Copies of this chain bind each other. A is one copy, B any other.
Amino acid sequence: MTLPSWLERGLADLFPDAADHRDQTLSARLAAAQQTNRPLRVKLGIDPTASSIHLGHTILYRKLRAFQDAGHTAVVIIGDFTARIGDPTGKSATRSQLSAEQVEDNARTYLDQLRPILDFETPGRLDVHRNSTWLSQLDLLQVIGLLGTVTVGQMLAKEDFANRYGRGAPIALHEFLYPLLQGYDSVMVKADVELGGTDQKFNVAMGRDLQRRFGQPPQFGLLMPILTGIDGVQKMSKSLGNTIGLQEDPLTTYSKLEKVADAVVDDYITLLTNLDPAALPQDPRQRQKAMALEVTASLHGQDAARQAQAAAATLVVTPQSDASEAQVPETRLESFWDWSTPIPAYRLLHAVFKSKAGLDSTSEARRRIQGGALRLDGEKITDPKRALTKGELEGKVLQLGKKTFCRLVA
């Protein structure tokens, strides 16, 4: 039996992919689900130590949505228990201890960002769990039972542990527990499938082992690629500054997408849209614009995406602009004016760009405006004295000439 195309799209790894005496194949389990009218439970874990999601994360949620659309149940697990622990060694800056409120805030913000992607409405299609529900109930006896299912050698074979151990970097002992806890989540929600990035194979396999021990049919692991960032080189990651965040506005989103490195455009089409690559324009720029429009629409709706595309056309004039230009810098409105009165256009221009565009004086600013170099969200402003209120400016992009722009924020 073959897998449906919505499931196979973009897949990096599926395991196990052949039946053994205990496991069905995933196609068989899908067929059984249909026959018995019992939807599969498709698990995906959320780490609520942070709340902002970028496009890289959406690959998994899009696959989860595809399962929902096929009638299955998305089981989203918020890892609030481990998020509240932080790093007990105190050595890791990235795993600081969060309060229950912070974690809950993060989880809510996180889920909100998923609203355009997941089906929150259809009954039975979404189950959200917080793993503190069961993990906070575990006692020492149960923890020992979990630990006893694995050997030290198996843990040290896990790639990231192997690398750290190999170069003598310390691995705190509790880190060995986390893959087991993730596996125990699968037991508690009776997962049929667990979605994850290709870096999750070990943890998903751990869930399979634990499910067997608890007398459950083991889940299938369905691994998706890690998205390359807009630089086209490294994986998309907030710390590398090469992300597109789901909370960014349509214009920024579209502008960044329109400029991602050529090498990753087809990956973005496969992983971030449902478009048929064969039906798209072959011209690289047109193809990229189609991708940018579709991805922006998937996050912000068709209308906003079209407006963003139009605005970007006026903002970004040189198609050869490099990726760094795609990141519109921001200036806070409060930082240069007190807003008890509106600001004249020439003063605005001078205040915002004096350090960037050689605008040494306000008279130079007047001359540039009169020369037609100033735009506000694409609209030309030619009167240097035009009075602009805070309300008129907030959230808009101020543009000087063809390459210099800045978003005005509250």
Contacts and interface: CB of A to CB of B under 8 A. Distances in A.
Interface of A: 81, 85, 87-89, 135-141, 143-145, 147-153, 155-156, 161, 165, 168, 170-174, 176-177, 180-181
A70 B181 CA distance: 49
Contacts of A153: 165, 168, 170-171
Copies of the polypeptide in the assembly: 2
Given A139-B138, A141-B85, A152 B156 contact: yes
Given A135-B140, A140-B138, A172 B151 contact: yes
Contacts of A145: 88, 174
A88 B144 contact: yes
A161 B149 CA distance: 17
25 contacts: A81-B140, A87-B148, A88-B145, A88-B149, A89-B149, A136-B141, A139-B140, A145-B174, A147-B172, A147-B176, A147-B177, A148-B172, A148-B174, A149-B173, A150-B173, A151-B170, A151-B173, A152-B152, A152-B155, A152-B165, A152-B172, A153-B168, A153-B170, A173-B176, A176-B176
A180 to B, nearest CB: 8
Contacts of A176: 147, 152, 173, 176
B156 A172 contact: no
In this complex, the member of A138, A161, A170, A173 whose beta carbon has the largest number of chain B beta carbons within 10 angstroms is: A173
The 10 closest A-B pairs by CB, nearest first: A88-B148, A147-B174, A147-B173, A138-B140, A151-B170, A152-B171, A148-B174, A144-B174, A150-B173, A143-B143
Contact of A150 (B140, B151, B161, B172): B172
A139 B81 CA distance: 12
Nearest to A171: B152
Contacts of A161: 152
Most buried by B among A87, A141, A161: A141
Nearest to A172: B148
Contacts of A140: 81, 135-136, 138-139, 143, 181
B151 A171 contact: yes
A149 B177 CA distance: 13
Given A137-B139, A145-B174, A149-B173, 18 more contacts: A88-B145, A88-B147, A135-B140, A138-B140, A139-B139, A140-B143, A143-B143, A144-B174, A144-B177, A147-B173, A147-B174, A150-B172, A151-B172, A152-B152, A152-B156, A152-B173, A153-B165, A155-B173
A246 B174 CA distance: 41
Contact of A136 (B139, B148, B149, B172): B139
A114 to B, nearest CB: 28
A49 to B, nearest CB: 15
A139 B161 CA distance: 25
A136 B139 CA distance: 7
Contacts of A170: 151-153
B173 A148 contact: yes
A400 to B, nearest CB: 53
Nearest to A138: B140
Of the candidates A140, A148, A161, the one having the most CB atoms from chain B within 10 angstroms of its own CB is: A140
A139 B168 CA distance: 31
A148 to B, nearest CB: 3
Contacts of A89: 148-149
Contacts of A165: 152-153
A147 B176 CA distance: 9
